[in-house]
Amino acid sequence: MTTGITGQAPQRPLLKYLLSLLTLLVGSEFGYGQDKSSPVPALVHTDTLRQVQINASHLQPLQTSRVPHQRLKGGQLERLNSLNVADALRFFSGLQVKDYGGAGGLKTVDVRSMGTNHTSVFYDGVQLGNAMNGQTDLGKFSLDNIGEIHLYTFQKSDIFQPARAFAAGSSLYLESKAPVFAEGRGTNGGFKWKAGSFGLINPSAWLQQRISKNVSASLSTEWQKSDGDYKFRYTNGVYDTTASRQNGDMDALRVEAGFYGVMRDSSQWTLKGYHYRSARGLPRSIVSNNFESDERLWDRNSFLQASWKSAWGPKFQSMVNAKYAYDYTRYLDPDHYRQEGALDNHYRQKELYISLSNKYQIKPYWTIGLSGDWINNKLDADLDFFAYPTRNTKLVAAASSLDFKTFHLQASLLGTYVSEKVKAYQSAKNFHQYTPAVSASWQPFREQPLLVNAFYKKTFRMPTFNDLYYSMIGNTALQPERVSQYNVGASFNKNLNSGIWNSLSFQTNAYYNKVKDKIVAIPAENLFRWTMVNLGEVDIRGIESNIRSGLQASEEIMLQIGLNYAYQKAVEVTPGASNLNHQIPYTPLHSGSLTLGADYKNMSLNYSYVYCGERYSQKTNIPVHYIQPWYTHDLSYAQVFKVSDHRYKFNAELNNVFNQYRDIVLNFPMPGRSFRFTLSTNI
């Protein structure tokens, strides 16, 4: 992100140090394969966060973007009947949120049917890693401290970013709320209390403090508890019954703190600490009238990350990022008896990440960039026949950008070098790959905000530690999953200011993805154990469109409309396959959403509709694998009021108004009708 810093250049020895660091990162392909017995926690990158204005009275339109880009921020997030990030993503087009039901159920996202592992999730500019299974549970991230959510199907159009950001097929960016102070104030704070169906209790609080003229701090904490006991309808093909979901309880705590500063030379730095812990039940898939489950899961996720960004004169900028993360998981299955007792496994992941990014402006219209990242991942587990793997990954990205008034061209080349070693048994082979990407955008009419864009990108994802080394299941001979992406689209964004029509925005994209050696993860008897199926080759063709408009019905009434639609034809094309041209599992042909909002004085009323078309649960499209379409209608009402000159906001939500019973993942039933109430106030 360009900072616009024009201060004096620092001393040359520091510049030589930074360039030496980049040389160290990229000097040899597998020079970092040695085990580091005691990695030192380091400081890591967070993008400079922009001021977030939350104003529910104005439409926040789609951006006229050089690359396919969808965004939710501020008032839009508040309008949605969403408890966490996964709920909010339902209103993006071209993706599927895989939800296993209830507050504690696993929630992941699959963009354009490439697979969950091809979507990288970034929190304040730094990727959330999970070398064990490659998936990020988005249900862990509450919206209470999220200011913006961005989805890039290509990559950011700014080449000033870590090398890791060039590697993903699609990128989801979560930006937390940064301190913003009114004139003459040095403290902000607030408290929110949520309660609702299924025993939900969810209090949260936040505090922002100005420490000095150039340094500020933030603190956010939240506790969430739910018994997860909801009704669902089940049929075995002969008769229907209504039962209660069991073992879906959750108790979770989140605490995060951040520091933000500007130095004398205008360099910017951030430091962030995050901790999340949860204890939850794992509800079993409903098969053969078996509704009971005693499995338990405990999580502890912590990380420390920081960023330092500076300009070395008017043309050259650098950014240093680092991160240390520790993840602990315990899985208990009392019904799985072994000679030494019930199955009780413990997993510990450690990640150390260091990055250096540089950008240099050769001409006003020509910019080049060079980034280098190093990642060290370790996994320990008390499993039988476990390999105890360590993975060292180095990434080097070179990029160039041409930016004219009506035309933009960006190209990049990413080199990835992976080496692995294990303490026992056989490790996977070392791997290296070069992946190009190019994008272009053109504004055909200078007087009209219409932008035409296209891109090509080649990506891959490494097999996870579970794919390679899971006891008795892993296969160290697995090949990476490779994807070629093609896209052409257009976007339009204009403030009309004529009559009742205030603004109009739309985006539409047509795409083709070619996937080779595709690996699909399908849950077996429970959501913690998976069966890995290699589909060989998959062709994915699709169209996604988004439209938003704002209407000024009167001086006091503002209306908002949002419509998303996606068409996806994702079929197996492996030569000789028995399921040739069959739609791949859990990919609907049609999906979409509709949002309506109305603001009047201190009140707002919102309606949302989400539709997911018919799908199949297995790779063979036969009637026994057919899953019916589902849809939900949600309503919410919000009002701001004063008590003793203090402002409060009350919000009431009614979700799944018509109580539709549905499975997003087969045999993992979702909740029916539910309600939620929220009372919040700011200091």
Distance between terminal CA atoms of the chain?
A: 31
Written as six digits, the tokens of 381 are 């587990």
| Residue 531 pLDDT | 55
pLDDT-wise least confident of 60-69, 88-97, 113-122, 318-327: 60-69
Confidence band for 448, pLDDT divided at 50, 70 and 90 = confident
Q: Do residues 86 and 97 make contact, with C-beta atoms less than 8 angstroms apart?
A: yes
More reliable by pLDDT, 447 or 459: 459
DSSP, collapsed to helix, strand or coil, labels residue 139 as helix
| Residue 22 pLDDT | 37
Long-range pairs, 27-36, Cβ under 8 A, ≥24: 29/394, 29/417, 29/419, 29/430, 29/432, 30/392, 30/417, 30/419, 30/430, 32/374, 32/376, 32/392, 32/394, 32/419, 33/392, 33/419, 33/420, 33/421, 33/430, 35/390, 35/421, 36/352, 36/376
Q: Closest Cα partner for 142 from 194, 218, 96? A: 194
| Residue 237 pLDDT | 67
Confidence band for 568, pLDDT divided at 50, 70 and 90 = very high
More reliable by pLDDT, 32 or 623: 623
Q: Do residues 413 and 445 make contact, with C-beta atoms less than 8 angstroms apart?
A: no
Confidence band for 39, pLDDT divided at 50, 70 and 90 = very low
**Does position 529 have pLDDT exceeding 70, yes or no?**
no
pLDDT-wise least confident of 94-108, 335-349, 432-446, 548-562: 94-108
Average pLDDT taken over every residue of the chain: 85
pLDDT-wise least confident of 184-188, 221-225, 529-533: 529-533
**Does position 15 have pLDDT exceeding 50, yes or no?**
no
In the block, residue with structure tokens 């209090």: 203
| Residue 326 pLDDT | 97
Q: Do residues 654 and 636 make contact, with C-beta atoms less than 8 angstroms apart?
A: yes
Q: Where are the alpha helices (DSSP H) in 442-586?
A: 465-469
Confidence band for 528, pLDDT divided at 50, 70 and 90 = low
pLDDT-wise least confident of 165-174, 215-224, 657-666: 657-666
| Residue 205 pLDDT | 96
Highest mean pLDDT among 39-48, 209-218, 494-503: 209-218
Write down the pTM of the prediction: 0.86
Taking residues 210-238, report their average pLDDT: 89
Q: Closest Cα partner for 163 from 401, 356, 367? A: 356
| Residue 187 pLDDT | 94
346 phi-psi bin (left φ>0, alpha ψ -120 to 50, beta other)? beta
| E strand spans, 443-480 | 450-461
Confidence band for 61, pLDDT divided at 50, 70 and 90 = very low
pLDDT-wise least confident of 162-166, 254-258, 360-364, 422-426: 422-426
**Does position 17 have pLDDT exceeding 50, yes or no?**
no
Tens digit of each residue's pLDDT (9 = 90 or more) over 182-194:
888 899 999 999 9
DSSP, collapsed to helix, strand or coil, labels residue 459 as strand
**Does position 337 have pLDDT exceeding 90, yes or no?**
no
Strand 170-176 and strand 119-123: pairing?
parallel
Tens digit of each residue's pLDDT (9 = 90 or more) over 588-623:
999 999 999 999 999 999 999 999 999 999 889 999
| Residue 335 pLDDT | 84
**Does position 388 have pLDDT exceeding 80, yes or no?**
yes
| Residue 392 pLDDT | 97
Confidence band for 393, pLDDT divided at 50, 70 and 90 = very high
More reliable by pLDDT, 104 or 267: 267
Taking residues 284-298, report their average pLDDT: 83
Confidence band for 53, pLDDT divided at 50, 70 and 90 = very low
| Residue 412 pLDDT | 97
pLDDT-wise least confident of 102-106, 133-137, 544-548, 634-638: 102-106
Percent pLDDT > 90 in the chain is 57
Confidence band for 316, pLDDT divided at 50, 70 and 90 = very high
| Residue 45 pLDDT | 34
| Residue 80 pLDDT | 80
**Does position 172 have pLDDT exceeding 70, yes or no?**
yes
**Does position 10 have pLDDT exceeding 60, yes or no?**
no
**Does position 245 have pLDDT exceeding 50, yes or no?**
yes
DSSP letter for 620, please. S
Calpha distance 324→661 (Å, rounded): 42
More reliable by pLDDT, 406 or 22: 406
More reliable by pLDDT, 677 or 663: 677
Strand partners, 651: 638, 678
